[in-house]
Amino acid sequence: MIKTLALATVLAATAGSALACDAIASKTLKLSACVDTDWVVQTPQGAQEFLYFSSDETIGLAVIAEQETPAVADFRAAILSNAAAAVTGNLSDVTIIGERIENVSGKPWNVIEYEVSPGGQALRFQNFYYVQPGFGATQFVLWSTPSDVSSAAYRAGQLLATVQIGG
């Protein structure tokens, strides 16, 4: 609940402000956003369309865009399956912290927060995902250590306040 309120506060505070940012636009979907200039561009891997690390390398950000429109439950299951595959392959090694719905660009986005520990290092993921027939599917995924999760949530709010769908 506190993270939801924090995200809503950030969304409201940043919606009307001018962030120093770099515009990104998906080549796969009608989707754009404004990434704070403090993020450092990385080379995307696999399905990632954009990949960034915070300048202090404590937070990661990946944007994934797909033309397919799986059922939301199937998309969620795939997210968790991919998280498990990155660690041991066992879903029991993915700890779900919480799930909620957030309003992003006037649309209801699902959010799942989960934790995995590859190599014994705990990482907390905040996966914001949206699926809509005629649009496709996208994920904005942020990760950090559990001690940096509040900073990651704040940065997610800044970024998601700039997301535009369509046009």
Note the pLDDT tens digit of each residue in 21-35.
999 999 999 999 999
Tokens of 164: 């535009």
Return the CATH architecture of domain 2-165: 3-Layer(aba) Sandwich (3.40)
Tokens of 79: 């997210």
Query: What does the domain layout of the chain look like in residue ranges?
Result: 2-165
- Confidence tier at 3 by pLDDT (50, 70, 90): very low
Helix (H/G/I), strand (E/B), else coil: 55: coil
- Confidence tier at 20 by pLDDT (50, 70, 90): confident
Question: What integer pLDDT is reported at residue 19 of this predicted model?
Answer: 62
Choose between 18 and 97: higher pLDDT. Answer: 97
User: Distance between CA atoms of 63 and 44, rounded to whole angstroms?
Assistant: 9
pTM given for the model: 0.87
Helix (H/G/I), strand (E/B), else coil: 26: coil
**What integer is the mean pLDDT of 97-109?**
97
User: Distance between CA atoms of 120 and 122, rounded to whole angstroms?
Assistant: 6
Question: What integer pLDDT is reported at residue 17 of this predicted model?
Answer: 46
* Residue 59, pLDDT above cutoff 90: yes
* Residue 119, pLDDT above cutoff 60: yes
5, containing H or E segment = helix 2-15
Question: What integer pLDDT is reported at residue 23 of this predicted model?
Answer: 96
- Confidence tier at 10 by pLDDT (50, 70, 90): very low
Contact 60, 53 (CB under 8 A): yes
Tokens of 37: 């200039």
Choose between 88 and 76: higher pLDDT. Answer: 76
Question: What integer pLDDT is reported at residue 16 of this predicted model?
Answer: 42
